[in-house]
Each structure stands twice: as C-alpha cells, then as structure tokens.
Structure 1
Amino acid sequence: MIRISWDIDSKRWYHHEQNVMVVWGAADDPLPFSPSLKKDFSFTLKKNDFNKAGPIIGILTSSKKNLPFIGNIDTFIRLTRYVHEQGGLAVVFSAMDVSLSSIHGYTLSPGDSKWRRVKIPPPDFVYNRIPYHKDEASQEFQSLIAWLDNFSIRYFNHCFFSKWQTYLIMNDNPYLQRFLPETMRLSSKQQLRDFLNEHNQIMIKPCAKSKGKGIFSLEWKQDGTISYKSNNGIAYTHLDHLWSIIHNRKDLIMQPFVKRKQYHARPFDYRILVQKLEEDWHVTGYGIRCTGRSRLTTHVPSGGKLLPAETAPLDMKIIRRMSSEIGKALDRATGPIGEFSIDLGVDSENRYWIFEINSKPMVFDENDIQKKSIERWYQQILWMTGFAASDIKGPSPTHTIVKGG
C-alpha cells in the first residue's frame, strides 16, 4: 500500500514514499514524490509488484449545462466510497472531461465527503454508467471509446442493449431459443393486425428504453375494439386510430403476452443479476417483483412491489446455464461485458421466459445481493487491471442502499 495526496495549490497528486519510483494509470505515468502529506485529501492505494499504484477507476456518466455530472448520485457515492475503502481511487467524469492525456473529474474528499474536482492520468478501468441512450449516440462518446482503446484502458458494458439486438443474439443460441417469446419488429398496420389476430393479446416495447418505460399491451375485445393498457391505465381504441399514433415509431417490437404466475392476484417476475469473475459467469442473486395495483410492469419506480425470494424459488441449475449462455453470447457479439441483469417471467405451466437483458443493472433493494454485487464488481476490476484481489473486503455498513441505478 502507498499513500497519495492531492495538492490543491499545484493541482497535482504526490506519493510520500521516499526513494521509490512509483507509476500509476493506464499509461504508467510517473507519480511525483513530495514529503508533504495533505492529510485532508489523501488516499491509501494498492501497490503491485511493479510499483504501480492503483487502481484508478473512472466512473463514466453524462454532464449537463451548469452541472458537472448527472446520473444516480447515490450510486456514484456508494461506488466511490467502496473503491476508496478497498485501496483504489474512483473519479466520476463525463466524455467532456477528457483531454489528450488526462481526465478532469470529481472524487469524494475523505475529509468532508464533498465532491472535489481533480486531474488524473488515463485510468486503469472505466465503468460506464451513462444514464441516457442519446448520450451514447453522441460524437463525444465515440471519441471517448477511441481514446480508451488508444490507451488500452479496460472497460465493460460498452453501451445500452437494444431489445431487438439482444433478441437476435440470443435467438442464434439453440439453448436460449426455448426461453424467448416470439419477437418481431413492428413495421406495418397489417403486421400488427396479423400478430393480434394470432395471439389476441400482445406486448409492445420500445427497443431502446429501460425500467418499463414506454411498454404497453394490446388485446382484441369481443366488440372489435382494442384494449390499450400501460402503467398509466387502460383505454379502448380501434386499430386505425392506434396506428395513426404509432405509425412513425421505428423502434417498437411485438411479443405475445405471457400470463405470468401471480401472487395475491398480481403477476410477478424476476430480476436476476449476473456478473463475470475472471472468465466465468456467476449468478449473484435474484429478486422478485409483482405489479402494483392496476399496473402493467413490475418495476418498483412504477409501483411494483418486492417479494421475498422464497415466495417462488427458481431452478438454479437452469438459471446458471441460461446466464452463462447469455453472457458468452453477448461477450462475443457486443463485448466486453462484465455484468447484466435478466428480466425473467414464469408462466402457469412453469415455463421460463426471458423478457429483457439489461447492460446497466439497477441497484437491487435486497441488501445481500447488493453487498455481493459490489464485491464482485470490484473483484473483476482488480483482475482486469492486474491488482491483487485476495484481501478484498465487504462494503461498510454505512453504505446507503437506494432504489434506482
């Protein structure tokens, strides 16, 4: 371990171990020595066999006018504190904070736990927590990815997943095909009519939204009208009117409506967290969510309710195989992947259905899953960056577990 500190006046980092040459960051930049330790802004970092201090972890998010960064701030605090406790340095930044050979970002000051702007060399690892799809489509993001590749900086979860693309990837896998509902891109009114005629009740989902946003169901009624249900309620319409509203949408997919098992007359499904440790995929845990009253989806921010995992246990042999197959397929097609979550439904015949794969899992409300997830997250980063993981500790009990993420 080695002590470093940030000098506010010179805007530089220093180490404090005499007669030792220390480097840090992806480019192995020299870390200058100073006998003067700034105790109010100092950190203890790991040091590997090559006198490299670290790891330096960049947490990538978005910025906004008049705000240095945006996103789930509680998640950033939780991750940053954990990294600091474990002997690393975490800095939150956006693509706009990157220069030719450094990053200006924000880290928590140990003295007062306030966000302080600092400068770091190219980090050892970058964790993508950009909150909006549109920001990953920007030229700034593409330039950042090229910058990371130029310095051979390790990262995972390159971008949000498209529901349609992940369906195609999984549908190429013979084992996973059995868990996939029939899925089609919505492209014409006649196609919509035919799909409704075949299945009577269907789900419509935007390819590039998460947390249940934009999802609605359609069902033919006996009088020829269509029941339109979303988290905002139920309306009745006709096909022509419905198509006049959605015909310009190019990002919608259709699936048959799966009648899931219920708890007290409310459908429920599962959130399964899967993480990579070295080269293997592991199920970290799963939670159960049931729909809120008169709601379509089970997402907690939309009114969903948590159920204990023992309410309806899963066959973990199937889940582990499914998770491993998904991880390997995604790695090959879109890699590098380090974690994902599965939205899984089980119907009345006990058949498993994969509804969605999320590249940026939300924070789990179950404390045991959240504790294990942050340990595995950091363990994988240490393995990828060449720092010892044998002395990794659990998160402090002072960590705040919050909804969202």
Structure 2
Amino acid sequence: MNIHYDSQSGKWYQTSLDTAVTIGGMNEILPRKTKKEADFSFDLTTKNGKVGPLIGILTARKTDGTISGNSSLFIQLQKKLLAQKGFSFIFTADSVNGIMVNGYAYLPEEQSWKKMTFPYPDLVYNRIPFRKSEKEKNVRTILADLKAKNIPFFNPCFLDKYQVYHLFKNHSVLQNFLPETNLITGDVELRTFLQKHTSVYVKPTQAAKGKGIFRLRLENESEISFEGLLERKQYQSFAAFWQEQGSNLTEKPYLVQEEISPSRYKGKRFDFRILAHADLNDYRVTGIGIRQSQDQELTTHIPNGGRLLPYHLFQTAELDQFIQLVVSHVGRTLTTELGYFGEFSIDAGISKEGKYYLFEVNAKPMRFDEEEIEELRVTRLCRLFFQLTGFENKRRKRLG
C-alpha cells in the first residue's frame, strides 16, 4: 500500500482505502486524503489493518551535534527494507516529542537523507555507538518508554566483559569454553592470578577493538614483562609495576584473563569473529571471519594490524558444531538475563592443544570487512524486523 508524506505539514496519509488503517508502534490512524499532495511516497506492507513495518534506528549525536553511527549499514538496511515493503529512519533520544519522532530517512532515489517527522516506530534497533551516550538520562528514559509501550527493541545495552563472564561461568555449556578470568580490585588479586598463570591479559571491562589491552608475563620469580599495543617494558618486581600502573587499574574496572597458548597458522596466532542473529526462538550464525595477528600478538583486530583469512582454511564439522553451539547458548543467555538481543558477535579461538575458547561477546558489532557477511547481515536484520513486528509472510520466511 502506498503511503505519502507531506513535508510542509510533516504528516503521513494514504489515498488508497476508504477503511481506516494504522501505522507505527502506537497504532495511530493513518489519515486518508482524496488526492495525493505529498512530496514523497513509499510502498509498505499491509497486514490486519496496519501498514509497516516502520523501523526506528536509535543512534546518538557527536559532541559537535551531528548524528553518529554506521551510515553504510543504515543505508543498506533502508534499501533492503524498501525492496521488501518496509521503511526505516534514524533518530536520537532527544528527538522524541510526545508521540512523534523527528528523524532522518535515507532516500535512495535522491541518494540523500531527508529530515521527517514519524509516528513511534513498530520496532527500535539500538545502534547507539558510545557507551557514554547510552548512560545518559534521555536514552534511559526513551528505552523505558519503549518498554512501557510494548514496542520491541534490541539490543538493550553495551556489554560489560566481566558481567558476561560471570553470566557464562555458571552456564552448564558455556563454562567449558571460558579462560579463567577475574576482576581486578587491587594488587593482591592481580599478583595471585599472575603467579598462578604466569602469563595473563589485562583488559578494560568496558572497551572494544583491543583498546587498553596489555599482557603481563612473569619472567622469573620477580621480574615482569609488560606488553601493550604501543610499548613494552620490563619491571624488576610486581611492586614496581603496581606503583607505576596500579592507579590506572583501579580508576576504572579492569579484568585479568589467563593467556591461552593459541593455535597458529604459518607461525601467527588467529581467532574467529562470529556474527549471529536471532531467528524465531533461536540464534543462527550469519558469518565467520578469521583475523590473524601480524606485527603484534595482543590482538588480531584489523585496525591494530591484523589481516583477514578465509574461514574455509580452518573449517571442520567439529568447529562448525562448536560455533553453532555457543551462538545458540550465548544468544539465549543474554536475552534471558539482560533483555532481547537480536544481534551480537563473538570472539573465539583454538588453543595449541585444540581446545575451543570463547573470549568476548559484543552487543554492537562493527562492520565486517567481508562483504558477503555484511550483505547477509542486512538480510537477516530485515527478516528479524519483519518477524518481530508481525509483518512477516510465508514467502519472506523462506528468505535469508
């Protein structure tokens, strides 16, 4: 069904049906006009007296006031949704006014973003890119408002690494794949943990892409080596290390994790980046990328010098089974404990002994460099949008 938008009045309407139809998460009546007087028209799905789905993508503003976020993903989602008779727009928490939302929609024909006024969406996809922004009062208010209005949204929040470890360590399946991890609350815990494992990683509990990570190694009874992304140091004792670095480790939460001796390919460590999406009552693997370290071994992230390898170099039936197993259990556990997760990524690896490990889970996956994974990501997200809003039909269920 074609719906129309009048830029001058900021109103949506339809010209097709004499009977009333609704739009958006609050089921607002879509007014009817006898003739088209709109600037823009879009063909949406009609089901049970409602048109949609109308998808709101929640993001945030930069310090200069401009809107931030993964614009390439937002554009591809809009193109796919329009092809499937859906519609999306981006908005920020400070742009909600009463029952209306001021946002921006990408118009493929014009290859530009258009500022528009929208009803409350049928679903909100949380893509706020900054942890600080997600903690702001207006964001917490809008998320609480969506919950009160029974408007579905995902993902509910960024993840804290230690919180996730705590959830998984008591899980009957996931506990088998976790490296031992502890929260740093003082020098005693870190020293004891280092003495036990001799080589450990230290990470901020709320960071991504390898930011703030470093490795400590106990070289002998007292001497310690420190390796960060940009520097390496030797300390004659743990006390010397703590005197210099301890304040950083107590100002904000850090965890310490045993180093797993990794499996190697052509002499370099590698690990897996796994993208997953919800599908009905379970979770499916969307794509698997391999990242291999090059100049340093702290992290395999591409911005830190890692490189891509194709999954088929390592693929086995056993590895496929492990990945699907952890994807299913991770997704269901996060949703049960923290709120609905429609999308997440996992960092996993294999030790030199052949044991599988689950290292991290990310609630706001960044763009994958593999184009085929990004294409399937858009397909899976759009399918999920239709599922959660009740607009999915039998034909669409067979897609993706």
Shorter-chain TM band? over 0.9
Aligned to 1:61: 59
Q: Percent same amino acid at aligned positions?
A: 34
SS at 2:25's partner residue? coil
Matches within 5 A, 1:136-175: 136-175=134-173
Matched position secondary structure for 1:130: coil
Amino acid at match of 2:286: T
CA–CA distance in structure 1, aligned partners of residues 168 and 63 of structure 2: 39
For 1:221 and 1:17, the matched residues in 2 are separated by 77
- Contact 1:71–1:131, Cα closer than 8 Å, also in 2: yes
AA matched with 2:375: K
| C-alpha separation in 2, matches of 1:68 and 1:36 | 37
Letter in 2 for 1:86: Q
Letter matched to residue 378 of structure 1: C
Per the alignment, residue 42 of structure 2 pairs with: 43
- Aligned partner of 1:328 in structure 2 is 332
In the TM superposition, what are the counterparts of 1:288-327 in structure 2 within 5 Å? 288-314=290-316, 315-327=319-331
Q: Structure 2, unaligned stretches of length 5 or more?
A: none
1:251 equivalent among 237, 242, 253: 253
CA displacement, residues 106-157 of structure 1 (integer Å, 9 cap, x when unaligned): 1113441211111111110000111111111111111011110122101121
Measured in 2, the distance between the counterparts of 1:250 and 1:34 equals 58
Map of 1:221-370 to 2, 5 A cutoff? 221-222=219-220, 224-237=222-235, 238-244=237-243, 245-247=245-247, 248-314=250-316, 315-370=319-374
SS in 2 for 1:63: coil
| Corresponding position of 1:399 | none
Q: Is the 8 A contact 1:42 1:110 kept in 2?
A: no
The answer to whether the 8 Å contact 2:7/2:38 transfers is no
Q: What amino acid does structure 1 have at the position aligned with 2:371?
A: N
The CA distance in 2 between the partners of 1:295 and 1:36, in whole Å, is 65
Preserved CA contact (<8 Å) 1:7 1:38: yes
CA distance in 1, matches of 2:15, 2:111: 23
In structure 2, the residue matched to 1:398 is: none
Equivalent pair of 1:291/1:305 in contact (CA under 8 Å): yes
Offset at residue 277 of structure 1 (A): 0.6
CA distances 1:84-127 after superposition (whole Å, capped 9, x unpaired):
22211111011111122111011113441211111111110000
Partner letter of residue 335 of structure 1? G
Instruction: Please give the secondary structure, in 1, of the residue aligned with 2:392.
Output: coil
Q: Aligned residue for 1:196? A: 194
> Letter of the aligned partner of 1:28 in structure 2?
N
Alignment partners' CA distance in 1, 2:66 and 2:202: 36
Distance 2:141 2:109 in 1: 35
CA–CA separation in structure 2 for the residues paired with 1:12 and 1:334:
37
- Return the alpha-carbon distance in structure 1 between the equivalents of residues 3 and 371 of structure 2: 32
Q: Distance in 2 between matches of 1:217 and 1:65?
A: 33
CA distance in 1, matches of 2:307, 2:69: 24
What is residue 88 of structure 2 aligned with on the other side? 90
**Aligned to 1:378, which of 362, 382, 385?**
382
State the Cα distance separating 1:384 from its structure 2 match.
1.0
Deviations 1:12-62 (A, max 9, x none): 1122214232210011101112344467522111111x2211011000111
Say what the alpha-carbon RMSD is for the aligned residues. 2.0
Runs of 5+ consecutive residues of structure 1 not aligned to the other structure: 396-405
Give the 3-state SS of the residue equivalent to 1:375 in structure 2: helix
Q: Which amino acid aligns with 1:188?
A: G
2:225 partner SS = strand
Give the alignment's TM-score, normalised by structure 1.
0.92
CA contact (8 A) 2:14 2:33 kept: yes
What code does the residue aligned with 2:346 have?
I
Distance 2:99 2:87 in 1: 18
Paired residues of 1:233 and 1:294 also in contact (CA < 8 A): no
Once residues 10 and 173 of structure 1 are traced to their aligned partners in structure 2, the CA distance between those partners, rounded to angstroms, is: 54
